[in-house]
């Protein structure tokens, strides 16, 4: 596509190396410039309005342009624009946010460690777990189990837990000590005749077999998102978490709940761990922690984890880990105000109510010839597309239907994402039933358009 020389689009292509983008395709494309946003809607540089059906990157929980967060940032920036937490130094936003997170955690947690992104947080968790194993005198206990379809970030260690081949290929990843077990994707992975409970039992048995074959004393931790997000909004089958936790408990394997997507109301309760009765030793929070107004992430550790690490740091003379921007006072102040907005406006309740409304309507697409499954919980859902009813699509590559649907939806003024061929839906927690109606209407239009083109 020929762009006007020196236009904003052309300058983007000239200077900007994009994340998660095919660089050569990008050079031949016209990038979508998002210019401003309000509530659940964003506007491109031509003034076209889109419903942000993914809340940015699963993250803008309170919607865009929330003045309380803007004011909190401005106030804190004027008062203390930077502060850190190295060598016992601290500041009020860090103290207040750490206390708040421990108080709202769904299980007893001991301390909060601050980082800047979900990836950094998960990398830090792996380091904490290894540090703890060494401190316990169990240096062989280093293996970490993650699941198929997992997403835990892109840094060397967190990206090694992530299950997608494009996150590993040509990066010399994964690192050692990462083990993989099956995902809870019932619709895709269940065997004929298997019930959800049977499937959950099979997954738990596979996990136990993996632990036994590797040697239980070599296994340090299991990482799981309560609902797999980027893997396609995979909600766990009935009894899954109960059975998985029973196996982890039997072999004293730490459980890390990656709540980066699920935290702060997404699943209709404050945390995904509440929705699924998960009792993690470590919780990882980011995204909706600050509604992504500023980068921040937080790791909550229980006493079992903290006390051993604290002793070891005392033996060594420091816990030799931390980031310049970790516990950034402006990001922490924004996160505190963001949580206050979520509580004051009962956005968790709104996610449950509007989520139910939205999912009820999405379920009407279950019988659509292009749809394999509709699934979700709270205000996160997926419409999984499949091509088996369309011989003309037999040669399609995986992901082709998803990206086509996304492109058509953008034309219709709705931004979603596709996890391969699962259209993922994760709007701000503030959306109304009218917004949900619009989303459903546009998805319906696009499904019908694609089905008629393929017929
Ligand atoms: N964990 C989960 C569950 C995620 O969805 C993501 C990001 N999508 C991450 C970790 C990584 O977060 P970040 O992009 O901030 O590094």
- For residues 361 and 329, state if they share a domain: no
Residue of 259, 287, 299 to test ligand 1 pocket, by largest number of atoms within 8 Å of CB: 287
- For 323, the token pair is 């980031």
Ligand 1, from 125, 151, 160: best to mutate by most atoms within 8 Å of Cβ? 151
Among 125, 86, 66, CA closest to 290: 66
**Pocket mutation for ligand 1, best pick of 149, 161, 260, 380 (most atoms within 8 Å of C-beta):** 260
The answer on 333 and 253 residing in a single domain is yes
Q: Is 100 helix (H, G, I), strand (E, B) or coil?
A: helix
Residue 237 DSSP class: P
Write the residue with the smallest CA distance to atom 7 of ligand 1. Answer: 153
The pair of structure tokens assigned to 151 is 């997403």
Count of beta carbons in the 10 Å neighbourhood of residue 433: 12
Contact 289, 261 (CB under 8 A): no
**What string of pLDDT tens digits covers the 455 residues of the chain?**
688 989 999 999 999 999 999 999 999 988 999 999 999 999 999 999 999 999 999 999 999 999 999 999 999 999 999 999 999 999 999 999 999 999 999 999 999 999 999 999 999 999 999 999 999 999 999 999 999 999 999 999 999 999 999 999 999 999 999 999 999 999 999 999 999 999 999 999 999 999 999 999 999 999 999 999 999 999 999 999 999 999 999 999 999 999 999 999 999 999 999 999 999 999 999 999 999 999 999 999 999 999 999 999 999 999 999 999 999 999 999 999 999 999 999 999 999 999 999 999 999 999 999 999 999 999 999 999 999 999 999 999 999 999 999 999 999 999 999 999 999 999 999 999 999 999 999 999 999 999 999 99
Look at residues 96, 42, 60 and name the one whose alpha carbon lies nearest to residue 347: 60
- Nearest-10 Cα torsion for 101, 106, 109, 113: -40
The CA distance from 323 to 186, in Å, is: 39
Residue 420: inside a domain: yes
Closest CA to 374 of 361, 387, 388, 391: 361
Residue nearest to atom 3 of ligand 1 (CA): 260
- Domain count of the fold of the chain: 2
The sign of the CA dihedral 57, 63, 68, 71 is: positive
Q: What is the Cα–Cα distance from 422 to 401, expressed in whole angstroms?
A: 9
pTM over 0.90, yes/no = yes
In short, whether 350's Cβ falls inside 6 Å of ligand 1 is no
Tokens of 350: 């709104």
Per-residue pLDDT at 1: 65
* Whether residue 314 is found in the same domain as residue 338: yes
Asked if residue 339 and residue 364 are part of one domain, the reply reads: no
Asked whether 359 and 435 are in contact (CB, 8 A), the reply is: no
170, with CB counted inside 10 A (0-12, 13-18, 19+), is exposed
User: What is the gyration radius of the CA atoms in the chain, in angstroms?
Assistant: 22
Q: Which of 319, 344, 369 lies at the terminal end of a domain, its last residue?
A: 344
Assess whether 340 and 246 both reside in one domain. yes
Q: Which of 344, 376, 396 is the last residue of a domain?
A: 344
Neighbours of 63 (CB within 10 A): 22
- Is there a domain that residue 223 lies in? yes
Same domain, 77 and 216: yes
Q: Whose CA is nearest to atom 1 of ligand 1?
A: 152
Shared domain for 275 and 377, answered yes or no, is no
CATH code of the domain covering residue 388 = 3.90.1150.10
- Residue 124 Cβ < 6 Å to ligand 1: no
Closest CA to 254 of 362, 130, 100: 130
Please check whether residues 45 and 135 belong to one and the same domain: no
In this structure, the answer to whether residues 313 and 279 fall within a common structural domain is: yes
Residue 23 in any domain: the answer is no
Ligand 1 centroid–CA 226 distance in Å is 13
> What pLDDT, on the 0 to 100 scale, is given for residue 2?
80
**In contact, 214 and 143? CB cutoff 8 Å:** yes
Residue nearest to ligand 1 atom 10, measured at CA: 152
> The domain spanning residue 251 has which CATH number?
3.40.640.10
Do residues 106 and 216 both lie within one domain? yes
Ligand 1 pocket, 226 CB below 6 A?
no
- Expressed as residue numbers, the domain containing 391 is 32-62+346-454
On whether residue 27 sits in a domain, the answer given is no
Q: Last residue of a domain, which of 344, 362, 383?
A: 344
- The reply to whether ligand 1 has any atom less than 6 angstroms from the CB of 73 is no
User: 190: which residues sit within 8 A by CB, 6+ positions away?
Assistant: 196, 198, 199, 237
């Amino acid at each position: 596509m020929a762009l006007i020389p020196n236009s904003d689009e052309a300058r983007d292509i000239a200077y900007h190396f994009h994340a998660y983008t095919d660089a050569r395709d990008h050079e031949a494309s016209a990038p979508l410039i998002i210019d401003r946003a309000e509530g659940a809607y964003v506007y491109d540089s031509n003034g076209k309005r889109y419903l942000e059906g993914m809340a940015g990157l699963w993250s803008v929980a309170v919607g865009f342009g929330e003045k309380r967060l803007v004011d909190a940032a401005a106030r804190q920036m004027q008062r203390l624009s930077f502060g850190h937490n190295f060598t016992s130094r601290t500041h009020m936003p860090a103290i207040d946010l750490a206390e708040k997170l421990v108080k709202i955690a769904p299980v007893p947690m001991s301390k909060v460690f601050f980082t800047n992104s979900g990836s950094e947080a998960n990398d830090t968790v792996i380091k904490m777990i290894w540090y703890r194993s060494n401190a316990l005198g169990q240096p062989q206990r280093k293996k970490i189990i993650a699941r198929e379809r997992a997403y835990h970030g892109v840094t060397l260690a967190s990206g090694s837990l992530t299950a997608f081949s494009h996150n590993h290929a040509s990066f010399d990843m994964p690192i050692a000590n990462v083990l993989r077990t099956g995902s809870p994707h019932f619709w895709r992975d269940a065997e004929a005749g298997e019930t959800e409970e049977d499937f959950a039992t099979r997954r738990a048995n596979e996990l136990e077999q993996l632990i036994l074959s590797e040697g239980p004393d070599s296994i340090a931790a299991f990482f799981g998102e309560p609902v797999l997000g980027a893997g396609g909004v995979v909600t766990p089958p009935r009894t899954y978490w109960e059975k998985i936790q029973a196996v982890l408990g039997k072999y004293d394997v730490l459980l890390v709940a990656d709540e980066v997507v699920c935290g702060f109301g997404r699943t209709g309760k404050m945390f995904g761990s509440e929705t699924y009765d998960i009792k993690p030793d470590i919780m990882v929070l980011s995204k909706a922690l600050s509604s992504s107004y500023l980068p921040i992430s937080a790791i909550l550790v229980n006493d079992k984890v903290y006390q051993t690490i604290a002793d070891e740091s005392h033996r060594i003379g420091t816990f030799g880990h931390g980031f310049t921007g970790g516990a950034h006072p402006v990001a922490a102040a924004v996160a505190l105000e963001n949580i206050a907005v979520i509580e004051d406006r009962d956005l968790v309740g709104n996610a449950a109510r509007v989520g139910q409304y939205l999912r009820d309507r999405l379920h009407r697409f279950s019988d659509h010839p292009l749809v394999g499954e509709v699934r979700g919980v709270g205000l996160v859902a997926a419409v999984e597309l499949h091509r088996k009813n369309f011989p003309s699509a037999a040669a399609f590559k995986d992901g082709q239907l998803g990206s086509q649907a996304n492109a058509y939806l953008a034309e219709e003024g709705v931004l979603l994402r596709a996890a391969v061929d699962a259209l993922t839906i994760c709007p701000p927690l503030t959306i109304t039933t009218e917004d949900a109606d619009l989303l459903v209407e546009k998805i319906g239009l696009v499904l019908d358009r694609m089905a008629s083109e393929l017929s």
